A and B are shown apart, each in its own frame.
Chain A
């Protein structure tokens, strides 16, 4: 079992949702390992050809070898780049979604959190500025675990502690997968929340719909008190979640280190494409192989020599 399969087993034990379990099984069954193994084999073959050109100049090697290495490197780099771009749901499936609730003080953010998770997770009072630090609660959306974060209301802070709360709220909003912007039906939208909505795509609700008043354009009217509109909001959040973590069943890069290793591999393949001397190209290919090896296990010098002697008639 290689390292990624072992990670799959750990993920399987820790899985909370069906999507997580399916993904963990894919990993544990060697899904990523076989993908990386395939790339490592191709890279080993490319390096073997490059090494053959270096070690055995006076042997009768095919003249097309150099061009074949070049196109092979380009092709491999493209495939890894495509994987990096398209395979972007697995980390979210494993680690879950981060949803930040933001809005003006007293918009009812904490009530909304409690209503969505169905328990009194956050302290609720009529006083603006009750929530100062971030309050987190977990729920499951479209088979994905999600962390719902209630934050301090956005306003010019009255004191230092509240100011820090607002700073954290905005920071959380920037990093979140989904921002849930909370407006209030009766009030005109506050400038801080509007500014956030302009910067980031948000799911917008107009709270306190039970009290009446106009609903801003594009906002879902909800009432944390009566439960009005909550089903619609849940459906909207699920749709957003599904968009972020496509359930195609092909996602494999479930940890940051997977992605980092592939990015390093890609960077080295770029070096190989730019290298002006054969030994520098070999050096870059070797580093690329090492980066890939960090995912599954290493490839030794002997593997490269095996390839050389299997492919070419070397020797006098």
Chain B
């Protein structure tokens, strides 16, 4: 059986779903292959989307018309904006979702996407053409699907192995088989493979939790949606609970450490530092008397509760004892024990910034298979890979890229492809040099126009975006142009320094003393601004002095980011590069001068030599 598509996406998790939807939005005839239709959009770990850094990524995916934010809005049962007391640049919107509703929403959005077909099949191999690139995907049921490009989003399924105390068995995720055939096929391509691990906590039966004994944490009211297209949240909302481990918990864990796979040497791969197992926490922070646990309901009509904070691979009997030692959970029943999973990922330094494998044309990789963790990191990569695969399949060789100066998604891909990973990579705002610019609240203003140019933004969003962006631009121009003297402001009730210097409205808004009623007395038109536009005005005003101070540096950086390093560059031929520098650059093969500067250990002197070479070679500095 042989048939053909422009783009084939392997995997139906968060990377696969976005990749398939994005490729199809770009007009590519797209096929999504998943080993199980009913796990499309499955949340394998905690049922939350967003947060600080991650929420920024979700908004960026949404700005490019991706599906994650809309699905989370449909399925969200607890919304909270983190860092609300801090400035808008570091506020992170987050939603906890009903697991089943989320799967249904993802599936519904995919099924409603034109040009997209979905098929249940296990992928067994990839067929290479004469140029070494991928021409077709082979499935376990004997089909050969020819394609113009393929996006592999294998998650933790590559030679996945679950550890639960002394028990160990191959699996992609609880209840799902590992993808051995695909792993062998990727290994056959000569791609560099590394091993990582991650873990998950036991799941509890919420009906057996003593909710009165734990602190309740309600969500925000009103809930702030994740998608810019969602006007308001209509799904019923639930509270979470907060409890904590006790000294007794820690004693139980210490007594049984030798039975923990991560301490007995049974697991070798490094795990994420920001997501340590409870046994890790107890060992590394021995002085702590308690570790906080969030009790997160997994659904409206699902009693399962996710105890966030106690990921573990201790044996079942120890997990039982640990849970019973926690206030409120004394009689809680474990529905499924926690476990650790080891899996293969591919060294992302083998990828171009378009997420295409450098040495295997038309093969794109996205998501956890690239060494990241988290649904949001996966979704952002999936979307970029999907867009690039669609354009690649249509014969275009020009990559569609986001720069570090433009988006967290750009930071993500640049970090992955130039630095590689030493632990599962998670997005943090501290990774973005331009944090004050790359806000969750302005993701659409930064990216939707780019998405429209790429062809991945639908008409509804494009129309709404155009109107909104125009209103923001008008309001900003007006706020820069209109000035008031300190005397006039004092008359309006704004107590500011009477230095006689007229200030623009944008400057006035940024003053700590600028209270709303007085501002509106002095500038009545502010009252008529839609809240979204007003929020943009305030955020821009707040950061304007800092952004303008960094403007020249920013421009220089953008130039570096755009100075491309040709694919066929021979680092050995560059005068003035030491052997060590040559090796470091060879390993990362950075795509631009900017990313070369971030390759670990590359010295300023080496960069100067490289820049000189590029200019002499006449690389166009766009």
Contact = CB atoms under 8 A, between A and B. Distances in A.
Contacts of A316: 46, 275, 294, 308-309, 311
A134 B89 CA distance: 58
Given A301-B431, A315-B275, A54 B83 contact: yes
A159 interface: no
B53 interface: yes
Interface in A36-63: 51, 54-60
Contact of B86 (A54, A58, A314): A54
Contact of B87 (A57, A279, A309): A279
B619 to A, nearest CB: 25
Given A54-B429, A300-B600, A313 B83 contact: no
A166 to B, nearest CB: 42
Max chain A C-beta neighbours (<10 A), residue from B53, B285, B290, B428: B428
B82 A279 contact: no
Kindly state the interface size class of chain B when it binds its partner.
Answer: 35 or more
Contacts of A57: 52, 82-83, 86
Nearest to A53: B86
Task: Output the residue of A54, A277, A302 with the most chain B CB within 10 A.
Answer: A54
Interface in A289-310: 300-302, 304-305, 309
B546 A309 contact: no
A278 B90 contact: yes
B177 interface: no
Contacts of B284: 313
Given A279-B436, A300-B600, A54 B309 contact: no
A296 to B, nearest CB: 12
Contact of B52 (A54, A276, A300, A304): A54
Interface in B53-112: 53, 82-83, 86-87, 89-90
Nearest to B292: A60
Contacts of A232: none
A305 B275 contact: no
A58 B217 CA distance: 11
> Which of B288, B429, B598 has the most chain A CB atoms closer than 10 A to its own CB?
B429
Contacts of A278: 86-87, 90
A157 interface: no
Contacts of A309: 273-274
Nearest to B428: A55
Residue among B46, B244, B290, B431 with max Cβ neighbours from chain A (10 Å): B431
Query: For chain B, what secondary structure do more than half of its interface residues adopt (helix, strand, loop), or is it mixed?
Result: loop
B430 A55 contact: yes
B428 to A, nearest CB: 5
A191 B46 CA distance: 87
- Of residues A279, A282, A304, which shows the largest number of chain B Cβ atoms within 10 Å of its Cβ? A279
A315 B273 contact: yes
Contacts of B294: 58, 316
Interface in B225-273: 244, 272-273
Nearest to A312: B285
A264 interface: no
B500 interface: no
A274 to B, nearest CB: 11
A54 B86 CA distance: 8
Contacts of B290: 60
Contacts of B274: 309, 314-315
B601 to A, nearest CB: 10
A280 B90 CA distance: 10
A51 B53 CA distance: 12
Given A60-B292, A279-B89, A315-B273, A305 B46 contact: no
Contacts of A315: 272-276, 281, 309
B465 interface: no
Nearest to B281: A313
Contacts of A300: 598, 600
A57 B311 CA distance: 20
B512 interface: yes
B428 A277 contact: no
A300 B431 CA distance: 9
B88 to A, nearest CB: 9
Contacts of A283: 435-436, 546
B87 A277 contact: yes
A134 B514 CA distance: 60
A133 to B, nearest CB: 39
Contacts of B291: 60, 313
Contacts of A282: 430, 435
Contact of A279 (B86, B244, B273): B86
A313 to B, nearest CB: 4
A51 B430 contact: yes
Contact of A280 (B87, B244, B288): B87
Nearest to A286: B433
A60 B288 CA distance: 11
A137 to B, nearest CB: 38
Contacts of A56: 52
B421 to A, nearest CB: 11
A59 to B, nearest CB: 7
B86 A59 contact: no
A54 B90 CA distance: 7
A280 B292 contact: no
Contacts of B600: 300, 302
A39 to B, nearest CB: 20
Contacts of A60: 244, 290-292
A300 B285 CA distance: 25
Given A54-B52, A54-B430, A283-B546, A314 B292 contact: no
Interface string B24-36: 0000000000000
Contacts of A54: 52, 83, 86, 90, 429-430
Nearest to B510: A276
Nearest to A275: B546
A55 B86 contact: no
A167 B27 CA distance: 77
A186 B419 CA distance: 79
A276 to B, nearest CB: 6
Contacts of A55: 52-53, 428-430
A279 B433 CA distance: 12
Contacts of A59: 292
Contacts of B281: 313, 315
Nearest to B419: A302
B546 to A, nearest CB: 6
Contacts of B419: 302
Closest 4 CB pairs of A and B: A309-B273, A316-B308, A277-B87, A313-B285
23 contacts: A51-B430, A54-B83, A54-B86, A57-B86, A58-B294, A59-B292, A60-B292, A278-B86, A278-B87, A279-B86, A279-B90, A279-B429, A282-B435, A283-B436, A283-B546, A302-B600, A305-B273, A309-B274, A313-B285, A314-B276, A315-B281, A316-B46, A316-B311
Given A276-B512, A277-B542, A279-B90, 4 more contacts: A54-B86, A57-B83, A305-B428, A313-B291
Interface of B: 46, 52-53, 82-83, 86-87, 89-90, 244, 272-276, 281, 284-285, 288, 290-292, 294, 308-309, 311, 419, 428-431, 435-436, 512, 542, 546, 598, 600
